Chains A and B, each alone.
Chain A
Amino acid sequence: GNSVTQMEGPVTLSEEAFLTINCTYTATGYPSLFWYVQYPGEGLQLLLKATKADDKGSNKGFEATYRKETTSFHLEKGSVQVSDSAVYFCALSERIGGSQGNLIFGKGTKLSVKP
């Protein structure tokens, strides 16, 4: 079945460091890919998305490119801030019951950014 694998955390960085969180997936067909972020004590928020191969999703300085040849969707940010401290989830959509997609999530990567 479909699955998402993302790098284990926690990841600890200093402010202004470069961030990469790796995400690879296994899927049949052509799923949409997402990064969600969960701040402490809150629900998940969509960070960015890509719906087809070679699409680049971007938001708040974060970027990820849908790479079909490597089945990857790595999250990057050039200069992290303390406010980026959160748990990041990679996810893909899959059809269920012939209808719209369920989301398959990775286990999440906790990011802590130190001043």
Chain B
Amino acid sequence: NAGVTQTPKFRILKIGQSMTLQCAQDMNHNYMYWYRQDPGMGLKLIYYSVGAGITDKGEVPNGYNVSRSTTEDFPLRLELAAPSQTSVYFCASSNTVGSYEQYFGPGTRLTVT
């Protein structure tokens, strides 16, 4: 199993550009999440999904969009990149039972200049 994979690993964007961060999991998990991690801070939830076709906002959704057309994939879209979106982005997934343990991808480091 590959677990949770993310692409790209690094990206530099200019202000106003758009991009999609890819996330995929092969564990057949229904729940998927996007977090951002700013320096010296914990992770903050951007969006989450409880299954294909169902998404909802987390703590910091502004400037982002998501879709969930399949169980495996959960891409995160930045439409008009801003310097405030410079961060490391983590995708995670979890099963629907138990202690809500989440499995994380390796992250995407995004810089907006």
Interface residues in chain A, defined as those with a beta carbon under 8 Å from any beta carbon in chain B: 4, 32, 34, 36, 42-46, 49, 51, 89, 91, 93, 96-97, 99-103, 105-108
Contact = CB atoms under 8 A, between A and B. Distances in A.
Contacts, number: 61
A106 B58 contact: no
A43 B100 contact: no
Given A4-B42, A43-B107, A102-B33, A97 B50 contact: yes
A89 B90 contact: no
Contact of A51 (B90, B94, B99): B99
Interface of B: 4, 31, 33, 40-43, 45, 48, 50, 56, 58, 90, 92, 94, 96, 99-107
Contacts of B4: 43
Contacts of B94: 100
Contacts of B101: 34, 46, 49
Nearest to B41: A107
A105 B33 CA distance: 14
Given A96-B56, A103-B33, A107-B40, 6 more contacts: A43-B107, A44-B92, A46-B103, A89-B43, A93-B99, A96-B58
17 contacts: A4-B42, A34-B101, A42-B106, A45-B104, A46-B102, A49-B101, A93-B99, A96-B48, A96-B58, A97-B50, A97-B56, A102-B33, A103-B43, A103-B45, A103-B100, A105-B43, A107-B41
